[in-house]
Structure 1
Amino acid sequence: MMPEFSIDSAEKLARDMDWNLLRTFVILAKSRSVTEAAEKMRLKQPTVSSALKRLEDRLGKRLIDRSPGNFRLTKAGELLEKEAVEIHGAILRLNTLMRETVDEVRGHVQIAMASHVISPLFDNTLTEFHKTYPYGTLTIDISASRHVIEKVMARRASMAVCLVRDRNPALEYKRLFREYFGLFCGPSHPLFGLEGLTKADLAGHSTVSFVTDHMSDALRQVTLMRADADLEDRVVGTSANLEEVRRLIIAGLGIGPLPIHVVKRDIEDGHLWRLPPFEAPPAVDVYVVWNPKARLNRAEQAFLDLLLAQIEKTPLSEREYI
């Protein structure tokens, strides 16, 4: 007669866990109600409520406080969300890993990137990658820096190129380049084309900017520059996309910050006019970010290795753009 093996609680949980419940919980954690989560998943509300109850019963913990007027994660729910996001990302990558076992020389690189990154070093890496690995493919997905980081953490992107506010200890960071910001206005603005302006001339004028332009985010130095210029406190237009902030400035909605090296052609063509301060413009670093726990395919690893090698051999002085 075969001996009966005892199974500890952790092994039993792993054996009995329905992974679809974790997927449902990931969506619930980013929603404001069960109804909203059900709409996102195109399911009926009772189905999602039942899934949440089954998961809570399985874990023996209340995961979401659903008391009247409240819908927020409990401490147990916050811990589970962090783990569930990684598990969900790993499952999504299984298809890629299985492809690799069939054809190890091919692979796809998913790069999550902040808007309008201008870097000759990055462009050179793209060229070298294509020449060296002609069967490798790439996708560059543009979104706000905070969403870019979320994609890398959840393993929905191979790597990110973006601004960084707070470093997540679970991720790796390498500075790609440093850019400098100035203040600009468009052709219809009353300060456009005027020479000899000082910061005092900017006082009280309306302003536009990036959604990350505040004291607690990645563009803190830009926020300080705007405050020092005594611009109007109210920001009349914002966007996460550099091209759209540029559009708002050119359209005359207000004075706004842009990376100086990115808009040189616009200045030459008469679309933008640079305003004070001209000395010591604020510096903002752009990073390559990747998840060391993610199992990269050969193309992903090759691209990351090429990019990091380019960074290592290029002094920072040659990666400062102004």
Structure 2
Amino acid sequence: MPEKDPQTVRLRAAQVRRRFVWEIDWNLLRTFTVIVQEGSLTAAGEKLSLSQPTISNALRRLEEHIVCHLIDRSSSYFRITPAGEKLYEECMAMFAIVAGLPELMEKDRNQISGQVDMAFASHVECPFLDTFLADFHKTNPHITFSTTVSSSRASAEAVLNNEAALGVFLTQEKLDDLEYTLLYREHFGFFCGPTHPLFQQRISNFDELRRLDYVSFKTDELSGALAPVAALRKQEQLRGKIVGQFTNLEEVKRLIKAGFGFGPLPIHVVAPDVEARQLWQLPPYKNPPSVDVYLVIKRTARRTRAQSAFLEALLTAIEATPLEGRTYPQPVEA
């Protein structure tokens, strides 16, 4: 059998690619993306207001069209194949490009518009960032923002999956695919609520805390993002029963206020609660543990003009501001 001419092979391959682009139903890619994000066909159907058979049929048609198996699933099992993971990554990149199309249509090319999606940890409170956002909005009024608030891990996943252009959260283990820039540093103190036996007592050391019930974050462990807090607990032998662990600051604060136990909170975040006599600070009063909060982006992400403008401006502002000006509470001058 004679060998095929290389030029003929390339031409046929090009024809196949062109046919693929023109014949594929782009809605199938959107449906596939939602299936991956929701983690099941049923949940995807609810999100898109479509029946489960319709979602299943869409996935089958997409797999037939690209001649590739994308998801392994059964009644109790759901896993994206390597090919499916690659397609999902490309879909998110395409959606980012589509999201930027309106700004490309702007008549005034010097006026940037578009949306910047951000993923924050639950207790992000950074006056430096607030000031930057206010100034940036004045000079870029046509750029809009969307923020999701969740755990640090979920925020990292959102950035990895191109669901957010940037994340602001704590981290202990840095991932190779993400780029980390120290945004601000915060100090944690131990606090109790009005019904706690130590409320309004100025105790001098940790002796009275060692066996008391404790409320904290799930990352309050030596291998977690709140490792400095966990290290202090270990050093001071604080071994009371842990009565609650959460990923959300408001829930930690709620149980502390309710008298379940004492626990760690960012000092500058809860300053109004202390002033209102809803929380009381306990030792250590000097040199409290500090935790770094990072601005996180994906190294290989394809960004819109709005996203690029925002990140470039924010990184420039961070570089121009010493860490002391991004540390909370601000140090008190002697």
**Shorter-normalised TM range:** 0.7 to 0.9
Structure 1 residues 131-190: Cα deviation after superposition (integer angstroms, max 9, x where no partner): 434x34443524023343444445454433322344444443321111121221111111
- RMSD of equivalent CA atoms: 3.2
Q: Distance in 2 between matches of 1:263 and 1:312?
A: 28
In the TM superposition, residue 272 of structure 1 has moved relative to its aligned partner by: 1.5
Percent pairwise identity: 41
Question: Within 5 Å, which residues of 2 pair with 1:211-290?
Answer: 211-214=218-221, 216-226=223-233, 229-236=237-244, 238-240=246-248, 242-278=249-285, 280-290=287-297
Q: Distance in 2 between matches of 1:138 and 1:31?
A: 25
Residue aligning to 2:77: 70
CA distance 1:61–1:142, change in 2 (3 Å): closer
Q: Distance in 2 between matches of 1:254 and 1:227?
A: 17
Q: Distance in 1 between matches of 2:106 and 2:174?
A: 31
Q: Does 1:54 align with 2:66?
A: no
- The one of 124, 141, 162 aligned to 2:147: 141
Q: Which runs of 5+ in 1 are unaligned?
A: none
Q: Does 1:172 align with 2:179?
A: yes
Q: Does 1:105 align with 2:111?
A: yes
Q: How many residues align?
A: 316
Q: Which amino acid aligns with 1:107?
A: S
Residue aligning to 1:295: 303
Residue aligning to 2:317: 310
TM (norm. structure 1) is 0.81
TM (norm. structure 2) is 0.78
Q: Distance in 1 between matches of 2:109 and 2:121?
A: 31
CA distance 1:155–1:104, change in 2 (3 Å): farther
Q: Which amino acid aligns with 1:25?
A: F
Q: Does 1:319 align with 2:307?
A: no
Q: Which runs of 5+ in 2 are unaligned?
A: 1-6, 330-334
Contact 2:216 2:263 in 1 (8 A): yes
CA distance 1:267–1:15, change in 2 (3 Å): same
Contact 1:114 1:161 in 2 (8 A): yes
Q: Does 1:132 align with 2:102?
A: no
Q: Distance in 2 between matches of 1:148 and 1:100?
A: 31
Contact 1:111 1:140 in 2 (8 A): yes
Q: Which amino acid aligns with 1:203?
A: R
